[in-house]
Amino acid sequence: MPISKWQTFSDSSQTLLIDYGMDAKGDLLVLRLNFERGEYLEPIYIPREGPDGFNATDLFISYQGQDLIYVFPSATDKFYLYNSLGKLVEKYNYNDGDYTRFYISGFYSDIFYNQGEIMLPTINDTRFDDRDYFEKVIPFQKYDFTSRKFTDQVIYPEFVGGKFLPSNLSGGQISSYDSKTALINYPFSDSLYIYSFENKSIDAFYCGIENGHKTKFLDHVPDKEVSREYVVKEKNYEFAKTHNGKVYRLVSHLKNENSRELTPIDIIRRDLRGVTMIEYNPEDKSINYYEMPIARNFVFQENKLVVGGISIREDENQDTFRKFYVYQLN
């Protein structure tokens, strides 16, 4: 599983790191690491082909429990519910006229589950070179399991209208703020957004990092070279999570603004991008910043943050080991 995505799952008895991706055969492999026991649980295999298959080359999952695993294949008009044996339990059609489907945004996609409804990051077939892209694409939509269709939506903030971005930064990420509200994170915005399920309102608050340069939006369609330079030099707010009443937001950025004068290749070779975790306290609106290692997994557990590195090693028995860093939260 050379490329994987991740999320976390918590209930009253455990906190799990859910690490998943395609295996060598193209089937879905779901690994669950229990931090209390310090070991992996039995892997879950879900076939790509056959009567229980999801038939896609990329996907996102939402692990809601042992036998409640939602699979959202890319570029398809449906999603699936599986159990822990890899058996298909239910199939859901999006039932939308413009071929709306799940938008896999980076490694940190998520959904918000609320009383028989889910809020999903979505995309349609609008071209990325369309000047009205941010007016024609709906970044988040609420799906109702009873009616089996979209029932509500969240649109992009007004300030991106008529602008362009590299395609992989145009989506968004959603997570739970509390039982009735969702936290919306856009990789290009220094603000976070809170969506209320009750009154359908959206509130914004600043949760960014001041490093001497305001994010630049493009007034033209970026080619590959422009996109590469943008991704290397601009800030990328990769995800946001709520834990113990505080909001934590991860941003990757240049370590020093002087590096902006270098070429993207030099920046990458010299390891000049860093990672900062932003801690926002809604009670007094205070913000703290913490320097983080380059890592893949960020798991909040009680008063700790467990950070998983990107490197792994194998011993002579072909057992795989991964290094984790444990931080004490204030």
Residue scoring higher pLDDT (218 or 314)? 218
Segment 77-82 long-range contacts (CB within 8 Å, at least 24 positions apart): 77/101, 80/54, 82/46, 82/52
Nearest residue to 29 (alpha-carbon basis) of 40, 18, 39, 21 = 21
Q: How far apart are CA 148 and CA 117, in angstroms?
A: 10
Residues 251 and 274: their CA atoms lie apart, in Å, by 8
**Residue 75 or residue 190, greater confidence:** 190
* pLDDT in the model for residue 168: 85
Q: What is the pLDDT of residue 329?
A: 87
pLDDT given at position 311: 67
Q: List the beta bridge partners of residue 212.
A: none
Contact 282, 246 (CB under 8 A): yes
Residue 318's pLDDT band, with cuts at 50, 70 and 90, is low
Encoding tokens for residue 217? 């939006």
Instruction: Convert the pLDDT of each residue in 8-38 to its tens digit.
Output: 888 877 888 898 989 889 999 999 988 888 8
pLDDT band for position 115 (cuts 50, 70, 90):
confident
Instruction: Indicate whether 1 pLDDT > 60.
Output: no
Least confident of 93-107, 118-132, 290-304: 93-107
Share of the chain above pLDDT 90, in %: 55
Q: Is the pLDDT of residue 65 over 70?
A: yes
The DSSP result for 250-306, as a single string, is EEEEESSGGGGGS-HHHHHHTT-EEEEEEEEETTTTEEEEEEE-SEEEEEEETTEEE
Q: Which residues contact 50 (CB under 8 A, 6 or more apart)?
A: none
Q: What's residue 277's pLDDT?
A: 95
Mean pLDDT within 60-73? 91
Mean pLDDT for all residues in the chain: 89
pLDDT band at 7 (very low <50, low <70, confident <90, very high): confident
